[in-house]
Amino acid sequence: MKKRKALGKGLSAIIPEAEGFEEKTGQFFLCPIELIEPNPDQPRKDFSEPELQEMVNSVKEKGVITPLLVSRKDNIYQLIAGERRWRAAQRGGLDRVPVIVKEASPTEVLELALIENIHRKDLNPIEEALAFKKLITDAGITQDELAKRIGKERSTVTNIMRLLSLPLSMQEDVINGRLSMGHARVLAGLKSSEERISLRDEIIKRDLSVRQAESLAKKAKSGSPKGGKPDSEKDYYFRSLADNLKRSLGTKVEIRRNGKRGRIVVHYYSDDELDRLLELLC
């Protein structure tokens, strides 16, 4: 008889291996790994290869410690939570993994998977937004109801879902980490695609902070100042720097440029304020 591969030191130390297995709803049991399939509606689509390999190494050494959450589908089991552990177990050569069976409808499966990923902070903002949209559509619920179910503020749900208004190229930037959630929210607030593209390029090119991006977006929305010509991208950038200095120093600051040279003018309105600024600057 061919000897089965080990379950790993973690569970095999407490549960004797057996040729058969017994399903116990609500309790974990050791399930043949080939009877488990991933959930096609799993919110998480992006799995970091280094993190996955790290888990493979752990699984080889100690086995799968935390049971996977699954639901029964015909003669197999479909994952609700734990796909990364399942993938690592496959790569690690395990033939059985601990699972807990939960009876759930497809909508409940999506909701449970979403909540589990949110609590683990496993989802990027775009994955989260797509999961919110699917759950709202499939369950026929409002953003208010979704927020209550997953324990978030309604405004948080709204802001995350607004990211889906961005073009796919910018959504990819968020997924790949070129743009943060804060940057994406600023871009989503702009209506013009030209303004979005211009600001997105500036953020990446100059490595702008979210605050600087917000300042540039505000200037873009306001259009031409006092009926004059619209500010150039470079003007937007220097205005945002002046705004940052103003917030840091607590007084009016101007950046006056003349070609590649210029001056930074810091305003004060009393001797006491001058003393305060000198102390900050020196």
Read off the DSSP letter of residue 254.
E
Is residue 210 domain-resident? no
Listed as ranges, residues in the chain with pLDDT below 50 are 1-20, 224-230
Q: What is the pLDDT of residue 151?
A: 81
Structural Rg of the chain based on CA atoms: 27
Is residue 38 domain-resident? yes
Among 111, 49, 52, 58, which residue's Cα sits nearest to residue 81? 111
Is 194 catalytic? The answer is: no
Alpha-carbon torsion, ordered 125, 126, 127, 133, to 10 deg: 110
Is residue 215 domain-resident? no
Q: What is the pLDDT of residue 22?
A: 54
Is residue 17 domain-resident? yes
Is residue 237 domain-resident? no
Whole-number Cα distances in Å, 2 to 5, 19, 77, 98, 164:
9, 12, 25, 22, 52
Among 245, 242, 221, 244, which residue's Cα sits nearest to residue 231? 221
* d(C-alpha 178, C-alpha 202), whole Å: 12
Tens of pLDDT, residues 126-150: 988 988 888 888 888 888 888 888 8
pTM here? 0.53
Its domain, for residue 63, covers 9-109
Q: How many CB atoms lie within 10 A of CB 121?
A: 7
Q: Give the burial string for 176-215 (b: 16+ CB within 10 Å, else e).
A: eeebbeebbbbbbbbeeeebbebbbebbeeeebebebbbb
Is residue 45 domain-resident? yes
Q: What is the pLDDT of residue 66?
A: 83
| φ/ψ of residue 31, rounded to 5 | -110, 135
| Amino acid type, 112 | L
CATH code for the domain in which residue 83 is found: 3.90.1530.10
Report the domain count for the chain.
1
Is residue 42 domain-resident? yes
Q: Are the beta carbons of 235 and 204 closer than 8 angstroms?
A: no
* d(C-alpha 270, C-alpha 36), whole Å: 73
Q: What is the pLDDT of residue 17?
A: 41
* d(C-alpha 52, C-alpha 193), whole Å: 37
Is residue 67 domain-resident? yes
Query: Catalytic: which of 83, 127, 128, 214?
Result: 83
Q: What is the pLDDT of residue 119?
A: 67
Q: What is the pLDDT of residue 192?
A: 84
| DSSP characters over 156-213 | HHHHHHGGGGS-HHHHHHHHTTSS-HHHHHHHHT---HHHHHHHHHHHHHHT--HHHH
